[in-house]
Amino acid sequence: MKKILVTGSEGFIGSHLVETLLKKKYKVKALVQYNSFNSIGWINDLINKDSKNLQIFFGDIRDMSFIDKIMQDCDAVFNLAALIGIPYSYHAPTSYFETNVKGTLNILEAAKKNKIKKVIITSTSEVYGTGQYLPIDEKHPLVGQSPYSASKISADQLAMSYYYSFDLPVTIIRPFNTYGPRQSLRAIIPTIIQQMLINKKREINLGNVKTTRDFSYVSDTVDGFVKSINSKSDGEIINLGSGFEISIEELVREIGHILGEKVIIKKDKKRFRPKNSEVERLKSSNIKAKKILNWSPKFTGKKGLREGIKKTLTWFLKNKQFLPKKNSYNI
């Protein structure tokens, strides 16, 4: 595998993936969603580091002819382009299906036409809904509790149909909650950090804090993606998770402890999901990833989570320009 297309390259996980691929001397085509500001998002930080193997393209995965064109000389493709904000999916479900499902279809069709050797589709732990048993393995039922998760279930099933129908070398990577530097403030760990840094009273507004999640530091998630390139994983769906479950309430206490602050949590109605849409518990089984990808997370348990949060916090402290001056809610 020499040349790799990465869609969603300008985003949180995408930019870290591009950075790692360049360090490993891959040639990367980075697809950035077209915008009138000519912004290339987080990969702007990579331009002066190792840009000789980096090509940047502006476009949209919803444009079939464009996707076909930029994929023609590639060996592999990572599809990370997606609409991912769960709260916004309640307001604009059509846009989620156009991007997450139709966009994935375009990737699959172009990959089939251009005989791509490896097609890696990014899924999400949200497709499982509330864990019916723990830890959650890849055989767990799929439950679309939000329009976002339903769109990702559809995209995953579509991708697998191309494996079964056309022998397309598809691998579905299913990360649990990834966090780290560059993450949007709409995500739970950045929004806690953001509020604690700008709120002098140390009061933070959150929704349901009784839910539990399995958090993975971004370098662990990216490591799983990279190891999938040369793995024998065609037709496989693979979880990437730490295997450690923590409630949001306890997560707040951990971040407060790191900052040396006692935090008061205020419930904010607009931050709650609809009752039947809330995913109550997520905890990953990563046995399959260890077996097929030879992958193991480095940031494990409460100790690993603390280490990852410290790294994330350090990044936000060095990049305060990305923090709003006043508390705000990003859906």
Confidence check: pLDDT of 202 > 90: no
Which pLDDT belongs to residue 63? 98
Domain range for residue 268?
A: 179-213+244-281+299-322
39 belongs to a structural domain: yes
For 215-247, the pLDDT digits (tens) are 999 999 999 999 999 999 999 999 999 999 999
Give a yes or no: residue 68 inside a domain.
yes
Would you state the structure tokens that stand for residue 264, as one six-digit string?
A: 């008061």
What percentage of the chain has pLDDT greater than the value 90? 90
Q: Are 174 and 139 in contact (CB under 8 A)?
A: no
- Residue 189 within any structural domain of the chain: yes
47 token code pair: 């331009």
107/197 same-domain check = no
- Per DSSP bridges, beta strands 76-79 and 118-122 are parallel
pLDDT tens string 4-18:
999 999 999 999 999
The per-residue pLDDT for 329 is: 78
**Strand-pair partners of 266:** 205
Which of 149, 147, 223, 215 is CA-nearest to residue 176?
A: 215
> Cα 57 to the chain's mean position, in Å?
21
- As a whole number of angstroms, the distance between CA 21 and CA 4 comes to 9
In a shared domain, residues 186 and 77: no
> Do 204 and 118 reside in the same domain of the chain?
no
Q: How confident is the model at residue 50 (pLDDT cuts 50, 70, 90)?
A: low
Q: Are residues 155 and 208 in the same domain?
A: no
Predicted local confidence at residue 80, as pLDDT:
98
Identify which of 54, 48, 52, 62 has the alpha carbon closest to the alpha carbon of residue 9.
Answer: 54
Rg of the chain (C-alpha set): 19
pLDDT digits (tens, 9 = 90+) for 88-118: 999 999 999 999 999 999 999 999 999 999 9
**pLDDT tens, 54-73?**
999 999 999 999 999 999 99
Q: What is the pLDDT of residue 6?
A: 98
Which of these ranges, 98-107, 120-129, 187-196, has the smallest mean pLDDT? Answer: 187-196
What pLDDT does residue 287 have?
98
289 in a structural domain: no
Question: Which letter does DSSP use for residue 98 in this model?
Answer: I
Total structural domains in the chain?
2
Task: Identify the pLDDT of residue 330.
Answer: 74
**Statement to judge: residues 47 and 162 lie in one domain:** yes
The fraction of the chain above a pLDDT of 70, given in percent, is 98
CA distance 228 to 225: 5
How high does pLDDT run on average in the chain? 95
Q: Averaged over 258-283, what is the pLDDT?
A: 94
At residue 1, does pLDDT exceed 70?
A: no
User: The tokens of 228 are what?
Assistant: 């999938």
Is residue 206 domain-resident? yes
CATH code of the domain covering residue 312: 3.90.25.10
Q: Are residues 230 and 141 in the same domain?
A: yes
For residues 109 and 81, membership in a common domain is answered with yes
Q: Give me the mean pLDDT over the 204-220 stretch.
A: 97
CATH number of the domain at 171, please.
3.40.50.720
Q: Are residues 203 and 223 in the same domain?
A: no
Domain membership flag for residue 123: yes
Residue whose C-alpha is closest to residue 324's, from 198, 144, 146, 135 = 198
Instruction: Indicate if 262 and 316 belong to the same structural domain.
Output: yes
Here the tokens at position 193 are 């950090």
**pLDDT for 51:** 76
Q: What's the CA gap between 15 and 35, in Å, rounded? A: 17
- Same domain? 224 vs 318: no
pLDDT of 132 reads 98
Q: Is residue 290 part of a domain?
A: no
d(CA 327, CA 83): 24
Pair 107, 195 in one domain: no
Tokens of 147: 């329009």
- The pLDDT value recorded for residue 49 is 61
- Is residue 287 assigned to a domain? no
Kindly state whether residues 137 and 265 are assigned to the same domain. Answer: no
Does an H or E element contain 205, and which?
strand 203-206
Q: Which two tokens stand for residue 69?
A: 């064109």
